[in-house]
Chains A and B, each alone.
Chain A
């Protein structure tokens, strides 16, 4: 009974309740997940609002909930800039990629590239960039999970927490496939939305639900500077965190153009029956994601006003601002609930990332590159995906433990977005809209975007004392590099009559849904 009395005890029970519920779902999904379409795309029978919730669940990661709340709580307005970019990014998804992708693809982002171009080199490169994005993103989430669980449950070390999260995500993906992963996302999205709403309501209750009073309290936030003096800042003023305007522009580019290249978001559109449902699911996701990021105003600025940056620094640091706020406002039980929500958030996102990485490896690399698209034994593709999920999970666990709890996870997420924006988006856009686009262009675009974004991060201020590249996020340079490489290599490379003649076919497919993959019967 002692365990129940401790804050970690309540949190632990809530963790266990979430884990138990998701494992039950995995058990039932596992019985339905035979065959590639069922395993990789949940039989394409997810409805619009379900997929909308799942997209929102896949997207609102620990970086959103804990990271943005913490950034707003300690630096005010500039943190809110992230919230804006994360939502506006969905317009790129909705207007440019979602419907053609659903109509012309099967399981992965590479399907739409391989449709017109030479499949093996294109799929090999696309698979490499998918794995890179997924693994960077995943490690960031796992480091976050390890740090969180260690602080919430006394006696659990960082390593044990990372291994625990790793094992759970592998179980969801290996046994339950896309169907179980989708339901984990849906439950998590509902929990996260209700938790954020309760937390926001509690904050506003402190200000008698008077918005004027709430914003007025933000104009004089006191904190202790590094030299020990007390400074008073207006948290609604821009420029407290970002000193260099180009940094904000570059970050904005990574967010707005990167989301449409995130493999774990893109593969969600294959789980719905048709492009119309894909469109509806983006709109559902935008409503939920927008409401969530508007609520970061209340619990992010609320933490700044009610706790203050010094209190946050003394109680677990910036990433714990939201859970700490819930403890002060709602007591230990609410704290446990919010912590369990944060844990569910991380677990769901890593599961989504694992399935996107393993789907890409099995479908793109194994089936279509190694086996030339011939499936020798039925079920081999799903078997390979399951093995890949194990390997990717183990790899993420090992790297997360080697990096340790101290690593700054925000740059890993920023890197994932920058790689997605620079490598994936240019080739997706060009293959949909440019008739002349060819294999050389796709391979060059993917490679140049991937290499330039990683190289520019390696020489950025986060990694070098005297940086060669002045900005924290490489997107402003690496996105044009990705596009330029794709265009130049296309023009230098040989014309591909096949790619050009199938352009009309892709246009018909992309715009009418004719010949698109159907939902499985039953």
Chain B
């Protein structure tokens, strides 16, 4: 797949304060690079098109998308339930404690559980990143 030519409409600015100055010109062809630039050049496109890297993105999305949908739905059920069904939520479950309080309290545990699941999953992603970067000599 040919890369899209890098045309930059913004003014030239080789910025020392900006890690990604868009003012940089088009990437130099390999034969024009100095030894220093050669050492610093990162094969971004090669990594982006790497099969293992693509698989990593899919694996991440498979966790992050359902987790996000779940917590958003779970969280917004709380204002919806207590807002539109206050009588139902006011029913007492344990002593004076009612569904409304228990549902609110469960949100804390929901948030912690998702956070810990994320960290566990991310440890696996970290290992895959190390393996991918290792193959590109980084």
Enumerate chain A interface residues (CB-CB to B < 8 A): 36, 77, 80-81, 83-85, 87-88, 90-92, 94-96, 104-106, 111, 114-120, 212, 215-216, 218-219, 234, 236-239, 242, 244-246, 248-249, 251-252, 256, 276, 279-280, 282-283, 286-287, 290, 293-294, 363, 367-368, 372-375, 381, 496-498, 500-502, 504-505, 507-508, 511-515, 517
B95 and A282 contacting across the interface, CB-CB below 8 Å: no
Smallest CB-CB separation from A505: which chain B residue?
B44
User: A511 to B3, alpha carbons, bound, how many Å?
Assistant: 21
B57 and A286 contacting across the interface, CB-CB below 8 Å: no
User: A245 to B13, alpha carbons, bound, how many Å?
Assistant: 51
Residues of the B chain whose Cβ atoms lie less than 8 Å from the Cβ of A505:
44-45, 48
The answer, among B4, B15, B47, B119, for a CB contact under 8 Å with A373, is B15
B80 and A245 contacting across the interface, CB-CB below 8 Å: yes
A248-B79 contact in complex given A95-B64, A96-B64, C-beta closer than 8 Å: yes
User: A279 to B129, alpha carbons, bound, how many Å?
Assistant: 15
A114-B22 contact in complex given A91-B111, A497-B5, A497-B6, C-beta closer than 8 Å: yes
A237 and B90 contacting across the interface, CB-CB below 8 Å: yes
Residues of the A chain whose Cβ atoms lie less than 8 Å from the Cβ of B129:
511-513
Residues of the A chain whose Cβ atoms lie less than 8 Å from the Cβ of B7:
497-498
User: A245 to B89, alpha carbons, bound, how many Å?
Assistant: 14
B15 and A368 contacting across the interface, CB-CB below 8 Å: yes
User: A238 to B78, alpha carbons, bound, how many Å?
Assistant: 11
A239-B86 contact in complex given A87-B111, A381-B17, C-beta closer than 8 Å: yes
Q: Which size bracket describes the interface of B in this complex? A: 35 or more
Residues of the B chain whose Cβ atoms lie less than 8 Å from the Cβ of A245:
79-80, 82-84
B96 and A218 contacting across the interface, CB-CB below 8 Å: yes
B115 and A84 contacting across the interface, CB-CB below 8 Å: no
Chain B 67-111 interface 0/1 with A at a Cβ cutoff of 8 Å (1 = within): 110011001101110111010011000111110110011011011
A498 and B22 contacting across the interface, CB-CB below 8 Å: yes
- Most A-side CB within 10 Å, residue of B4, B45, B75, B76: B75
Residues of the B chain whose Cβ atoms lie less than 8 Å from the Cβ of A88:
71, 75, 107, 110-111
The answer, among B22, B64, B104, B122, for a CB contact under 8 Å with A119, is B22
B101 and A77 contacting across the interface, CB-CB below 8 Å: yes
Question: Does B37 sit within 8 A of A, measured CB to CB?
Answer: no
Chain B 14-58 interface 0/1 with A at a Cβ cutoff of 8 Å (1 = within): 111111111100000000000000000010110111000100110
A236 and B100 contacting across the interface, CB-CB below 8 Å: yes
Smallest CB-CB separation from B79: which chain A residue?
A248
A216 and B96 contacting across the interface, CB-CB below 8 Å: yes
Smallest CB-CB separation from A276: which chain B residue?
B126
Smallest CB-CB separation from A91: which chain B residue?
B71
A90 and B101 contacting across the interface, CB-CB below 8 Å: no
Residues of the B chain whose Cβ atoms lie less than 8 Å from the Cβ of A496:
9
What distance in Å separates the Cβ of B74 from its nearest Cβ neighbour in chain A? Answer: 8
B60 and A500 contacting across the interface, CB-CB below 8 Å: no
User: A497 to B8, alpha carbons, bound, how many Å?
Assistant: 8
What distance in Å separates the Cβ of B72 from its nearest Cβ neighbour in chain A? Answer: 7
B10 and A256 contacting across the interface, CB-CB below 8 Å: no
A106-B18 contact in complex given A96-B68, A374-B13, C-beta closer than 8 Å: yes
Smallest CB-CB separation from A212: which chain B residue?
B95
The answer, among B15, B47, B101, for a CB contact under 8 Å with A374, is B15
What distance in Å separates the Cβ of B107 from its nearest Cβ neighbour in chain A? Answer: 5
What distance in Å separates the Cβ of B37 from its nearest Cβ neighbour in chain A? Answer: 14
B22 and A117 contacting across the interface, CB-CB below 8 Å: yes
A119-B79 contact in complex given A96-B68, A237-B86, C-beta closer than 8 Å: no
What distance in Å separates the Cβ of B114 from its nearest Cβ neighbour in chain A? Answer: 6
What distance in Å separates the Cβ of B15 from its nearest Cβ neighbour in chain A? Answer: 3
A286 and B115 contacting across the interface, CB-CB below 8 Å: yes
* Cβ contacts A to B, 30 pairs, < 8 Å: A80-B104, A87-B111, A92-B68, A111-B18, A115-B20, A115-B22, A116-B22, A119-B18, A119-B23, A120-B10, A120-B11, A212-B94, A215-B97, A216-B96, A238-B90, A245-B82, A245-B84, A252-B78, A252-B79, A283-B116, A287-B112, A290-B112, A293-B108, A294-B105, A375-B15, A375-B17, A497-B4, A508-B42, A508-B48, A511-B60
